[in-house]
Structures are given as C-alpha cells and as structure tokens.
C-alpha cells in the first residue's frame, strides 16, 4: 500500500468516497420521493400544456453552496492556485535571484584584480561579439571602447538641451551634481568647446579656455569628472557604463541591446573597470 502514504492520493481517495456516499444518499432520497412523495403547495400561474410548477423557495443548502462556490472561486483565483501558483519560471527566477544575492555578497568588496578579472570574463562573453575581442570595435567606429568617444554633435546637443538622462532618483546611478543645466554656451563658443572635447581635449585654444571657464567647475579641469561629481568625459566611468547596460544604445551602426537584469551590480562595475583599464 505504498501509494496510500502519499497525502495527495489519500485526499483523492477520501474525495472519491465522499462523492460515492453522497451520490447514493441523494439518489436514494429521490427514489423514495418518487415512490411515496405527494405534491403539495401553491401552484404558479404559468402553465405549460397542463404542466404547472409549485412556488418553492430555493433550498437553503443549495443557496449556501452557490454563495460558497462564488466565495471559494474568488479565494481560489486570488489566494489559492492560479496567482500564487508554483511555476517553473517562478522557481527559476527565485533561484537566479538568490544566486545573484550570494554572488553580490561574496564580491561585496572586490579587489582591483578581482574586478578586472571578472570584467574581462564578462566582456569576452557578453560584449566581445560586437565590440571585438580587444574592444577596438568594428572598423574603428564609435564602439571602440578603448577610448571614450564623445562626438561634437553630442556635446552641442548636451550644451543646448542640458542633460539629466544619466541620473537615477534612487541614487545608484548618476552623479552628485545631478543634472546639467541647458544653455551654458551658444553659437561659436559652443562650437569651439564641442570641437575641443570631441577632439580628445586637444588643440583649439579658444575651446580649451572656454572649457576651463564654463565646464571645468563640474567636469574638472581635465574633463575627468572629479570622482563622480559629473561624467568623466575622457574615460567610461561607472554611471555611463551602467546607463548603457540598463538602457542599451542606438548607435550609428546598429543597436546595442539592454543588459538589464543580466548583469549584477558588481559585474557592471567590473566590466566598467575592465574597459577603463584598456585605455590606461
């Protein structure tokens, strides 16, 4: 009787017995009624070819069962099976979550070597198919990650419209200075700074001067962002890498997909550290 030790089987057997007993009981009751029952009570007015119907209230048992079924149905839907159900996908997600939490706590304080090693691993698996094994990208386009490429049009656009896209209300991403106000410069001055920045902070004396007066207070005199006050315009800093990993990027030569949920925070930091190490 091995199968009887299973509680689901026990329940099923109990249910089958209950249904059998009920069926026999109810059938017996009605057979008895057919044999001995006498009709009594008030007839309704309607009459179908001589067949009438008594005025009966709904039986209490039936009414209770009806209401009970509705309540049970609501319970079943909201609390019982469907919405709180076991699901393979749910279990998988839970497992991934707990694995990632373990991973994050194991690497809560990674050394620089750990970060670089981890970053190289992530990069080779996840990023190199598009950015190339040595991260120089495809035919030297913008995907060359060994240097930070801020285009002239990007700088002009940011000067004109300001920038708040990299910020994040819960402070994990983004910069201490928050957003960059629009309209700091215009016309020829904006052009000069944009040329200077896009040119890798070289040449263009007017641009260099203007950068010192209009931009350096936040981005630092060398454009390296002063430890997270504002974006580092010369290297990929953590918030920019995180941002592109969270949101993906529409580039000139195609789309980079979002890596949201596919890399943990420490993996994002690691791949950022690895990318920075390539330009050192």
The footprint of ligand HEC (CB under 6 A) covers 122, 126-127, 129-131, 141-143, 145, 150, 154-155, 158-159, 163-167, 174-175, 177-180, 184-185, 193, 197, 214-215, 217-219, 230-231, 233, 236, 240-241, 244-245, 249, 251-257, 259, 271
* Closest residue to ligand HEC using C-beta atoms: 251
219 touches 166 (CB < 8 A): no
The terminus-to-terminus CA distance of the chain in angstroms comes to: 73
Smallest distance, ligand HEC to C-beta of residue 134, A: 14
Smallest distance, ligand HEC to C-beta of residue 98, A: 23
User: Would you say 116 or 218 has its CB closer to ligand HEC?
Assistant: 218
Rg (the chain; Cα; Å): 36
Residue 277 Cα distances to 133, 146, 223, 258, 265, angstroms: 14, 8, 18, 23, 18
Smallest distance, ligand HEC to C-beta of residue 7, A: 48
User: Would you say 22 or 138 has its CB closer to ligand HEC?
Assistant: 138
User: Would you say 143 or 204 has its CB closer to ligand HEC?
Assistant: 143
Smallest distance, ligand HEC to C-beta of residue 89, A: 24
User: Would you say 15 or 183 has its CB closer to ligand HEC?
Assistant: 183
Smallest distance, ligand HEC to C-beta of residue 226, A: 10
Which token pair is 236?
Answer: 């990929």
User: Would you say 231 or 269 has its CB closer to ligand HEC?
Assistant: 231
259 touches 249 (CB < 8 A): no
Residue 101 Cα distances to 105, 119, 253, 266, 273, angstroms: 6, 18, 36, 11, 21
Cα 149 to Cα 88: distance, rounded to the nearest angstrom = 44
């Amino acid at each position: 009787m091995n199968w009887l030790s299973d509680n689901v089987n026990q329940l099923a057997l109990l249910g089958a017995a209950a249904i059998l007993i009920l069926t026999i009981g109810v059938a017996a009751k009605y057979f008895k009624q057919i044999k001995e029952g006498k009709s009594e009570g008030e007839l309704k007015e309607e009459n179908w070819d001589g067949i009438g119907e008594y005025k009966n209230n709904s039986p209490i048992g039936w009414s209770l069962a009806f209401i009970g079924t509705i309540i049970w149905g609501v319970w079943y839907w909201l609390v019982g099976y469907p919405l709180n159900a076991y699901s393979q996908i749910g279990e998988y997600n839970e497992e991934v979550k707990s694995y990632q939490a373990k991973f994050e706590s194991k690497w809560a304080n990674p050394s620089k070597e750990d970060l670089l090693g981890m970053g190289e691993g992530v990069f080779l698996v996840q990023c190199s198919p598009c950015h190339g094994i040595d991260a120089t990208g495809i035919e030297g386009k913008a995907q060359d990650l060994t240097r930070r490429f801020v285009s002239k049009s990007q700088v002009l656009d940011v000067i004109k419209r300001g920038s708040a896209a990299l910020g994040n209300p819960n402070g994990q991403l983004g910069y201490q200075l928050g957003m960059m106000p629009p309209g700091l410069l215009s016309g020829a001055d904006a052009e000069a700074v944009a040329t200077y920045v896009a040119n890798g902070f070289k040449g263009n004396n007017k641009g260099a001067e203007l950068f010192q007066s209009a931009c350096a207070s936040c981005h630092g005199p060398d454009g390296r962002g002063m430890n997270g006050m504002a974006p580092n315009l010369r290297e990929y800093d953590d918030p920019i890498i995180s941002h592109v990993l969270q949101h993906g990027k529409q580039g000139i030569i195609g789309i980079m997909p979002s890596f949201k949920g596919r890399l943990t925070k420490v993996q994002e930091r690691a791949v950022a550290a690895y990318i920075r190490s390539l330009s050192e």
